[in-house]
Amino acid sequence: MFDTARCVVQRDLLLALRRRSDVATALLFFVIVASLFPLGVGAEPNLLRSIAPGVIWVAALLSSMLSLGRLFAADHADGTLEQMLLGAVPLGVVVMAKGCAHWLVSGLPLVVIAPLIALQYDLAPGLYGVLALSLLLGTPVLSLIGAIGAALTLGLRGGGVLLALLVLPLYVPVLILGAGSVEMAGAGLEPDGQLLLLGALLVLAAAFAPWAIAAALRISME
Amino acid sequence: MLEAAELECERGARTLFRGVSFVLRAGELLRVAGANGSGKTSLLRILCGLARPSAGEVRWKGQPIARLKEDYARELVYIGHAPAVKDDLTPRENLAIGCRLAGQETSGEALAAALERLGVPELPVRKLSQGQRRRAALARLLVSEAPLWLLDEPFAALDAEGISNLNGLIGKHVGGGGAIAFTTHQDAGIAATRVIELS
């Protein structure tokens, strides 16, 4: 079972490696969106400092959305998804592996690059760690919740927009907790509460999302 | 081995077929015939468990496949309309992943031998023709040990050599006690034990 999961992760990473432009697009989107705000709202340092966590988190949300459409659509189009449904291991394991691969490709780079982006906002030195940690806990949840939406909208006309309408409201708790933790730390308080809640969300999503994704895929594939 | 009881399939408000029943035993070859849109693919998808019939039941060795789930999936190879090969991978990588998903360990040499026998070049699939893609997908049959094959239009896009190769594979599998159900709208020149005509 774990062999198959590893094989799926390796496959998706290999595919991402051979289609580097797809990965780069989502990442560049994040960088550009997050960089537009200082240009738009002006260079008032206090204002920038106060909007930084929210802006970076919203940019991360949108960038993670961007790559969701491809998560199952490509496999659906070439018939690979059917073979996954007919695989020897439960579909939940396969979709969990796909979710992991999606996070490694689209979430992890954000965690790494976000502190660099935060430099533009002159974030206080102690906050870079909190920002990275909140993204580290939050972005896997985005991948998992997003995968449910991607599975539900698979094969629908105008699925991309529908996916955004479906998934973005579900991202709200992650956004509030993620951006909130950095703001708390910025106000000199302990961000532990928010981070622990984010961790709890991650555990919940990891436990239940695979089921939901698998069920949604079976419905979409009929 | 495979048993279909009173299968009925509805698409939207239209009934594609109803009352389809048959038994497919080891060593038998079932051909599903019918015009375009008559429900051949739908029937095959129901047989492999990808779709659920609106009425009726499919049983494998006496057990409903809805209950067997992965245990049934392990017993079959399904090759659908889409060849299930990734454009960015080579045929060999595709085949290796296909086998892994099916829960099967296959050595690299066996994979290479299967692809070579079907004459698939080791290039990224993007550079292959439709017929070569189809051959790359059919290579699964050479390395699989599953007793049941469900093939949807396996002859599509194949040239004369490909067709005779595939006919050889089908004959060998059926001769070895396997069972096959396949759809085709053309006469492939292979004698099926049983033919279901959907209208």
**Within a domain: B80:** no
Whether residue B182 is contained in a domain is answered as yes
Cβ burial A143-167 (10 Å sphere, 16+ → b, else e): bbbbbbbbbbbbeeeebeeebbebb
- Whether residue A78 and residue B100 make contact (CB cut-off 8 A), yes or no, is no
Angle between helices A108-119 and A45-66 (to 10 degrees): 160
Task: Report the pLDDT value the prediction gives residue B122, as an integer from 0 to 100.
Answer: 87
- SS3 for A1? coil
Which pLDDT score is estimated for B188? 64
A44 interfacial to chain B (CB closer than 8 Å): no
Confidence of residue A169 (pLDDT cuts 50, 70, 90): very high
The reply to whether B11 and B98 lie within a common domain is no
Q: Do B70 and A85 touch (CB under 8 A)?
A: no
- pLDDT reported for residue B190: 75
Domain that includes residue B104, residue range? 86-146
pLDDT at A129: 92
Contact: A86, B104; criterion CB under 8 Å: no
Q: Do B89 and A89 touch (CB under 8 A)?
A: no
> Is the CB of residue B87 less than 8 Å away from at least one CB of chain A?
yes
Same domain (yes/no): B16, B46: yes
For residue B184, is it within any domain? Answer: yes
CA-based nearest distance B129→chain A, Å = 14
CB contact under 8 A, A83 and B101: yes
Residue appearing with tokens 């509460």? A193
Q: Does B102 touch chain A (CB under 8 A)?
A: yes
When CB atoms are compared, the residue of A80, A84, A94 closest to B86 is A80
Q: What is the pLDDT of residues B55-94, one digit of tens each?
A: 899 999 988 888 888 888 888 999 988 888 888 999 999 9
Domain boundary among B146, B168, B186: B146
Residues B48 and B129 in one domain: no
pLDDT above 70: percentage of residues in chain A: 100
A192 in contact with B, Cβ within 8 Å: no
Q: Quick one: B107 and B23 in the same domain? A: no
The span from the CA of A146 to the CA of A134, in Å, is: 18
pLDDT digits (tens, 9 = 90+) for A76-126: 988 899 999 988 888 999 999 999 999 999 999 999 999 999 998 888 888
Q: How distant, in Å, are the alpha carbons of A23, A64, A78, B105, B110 from that of B87?
A: 17, 24, 9, 23, 22
The model's pLDDT over A20-50, given as tens digits with 9 standing for 90+, comes to 998 899 999 999 999 998 889 888 888 998 8
Q: Pick the more confident residue, A159 or A32.
A: A32
DSSP codes joined into one string, B126-189 = GGS-HHHHHHHHHHHHHH---SEEEEESTTTT--HHHHHHHHHHHHHHHHTT-EEEEE-SS--S
Note whether A39 contacts B: Cβ–Cβ < 8 A.
no
**B135 and B102 together in one domain:** yes
B81 within domain boundaries: no
- In this prediction, residues A12-25 reach a mean pLDDT of 91
Q: Do B101 and A77 touch (CB under 8 A)?
A: no
> What does the mean pLDDT of chain A come to?
91
What is the C-alpha to C-alpha distance for residues A4 and A9, in angstroms, rounded to an integer?
9
CATH number of the CATH domain containing B187: 3.40.50.300
User: Do B36 and B122 have their domain in common?
Assistant: no
Residues of chain B short of pLDDT 50, as ranges, are none
Instruction: Please indicate if any CB of chain A lies within 8 Å of the CB of B98.
Output: yes
* B36 and B56 co-located in one domain: yes
Best mutation target, A3, A6, A80, A95, to test chain B (most B CBs within 10 A): A80
The alpha-carbon gap from B82 to the nearest alpha carbon of chain A, in Å, equals 5
The count of domains in chain B is 2
Q: Across the interface, do A86 and B103 touch by the CB < 8 Å criterion?
A: no
Contact residues on chain B for A11, CB-CB shorter than 8 A: 86, 89, 93, 97
Q: How many interface pairs between A and B have CB atoms less than 8 angstroms apart?
A: 78
A222 contacts A159 by C-beta, under 8 angstroms: no
Enter the pTM of the model: 0.89
Residue B37, helix vs strand vs coil: coil
pLDDT confidence of residue A171: 94
pLDDT computed for residue A87 by the predictor:
87
Interface test with A, best of B100, B111, B134, B141 (most A CBs within 10 A): B100
B8 in A contact zone (CB under 8 Å): no
Are residues B93 and B137 part of one domain? Answer: yes
Tally the residues of chain B: 199
Using the Cβ of A45 and the Cβ atoms of chain B, whether some distance falls under 8 Å is answered with: no
Q: What is the ipTM of this complex?
A: 0.89
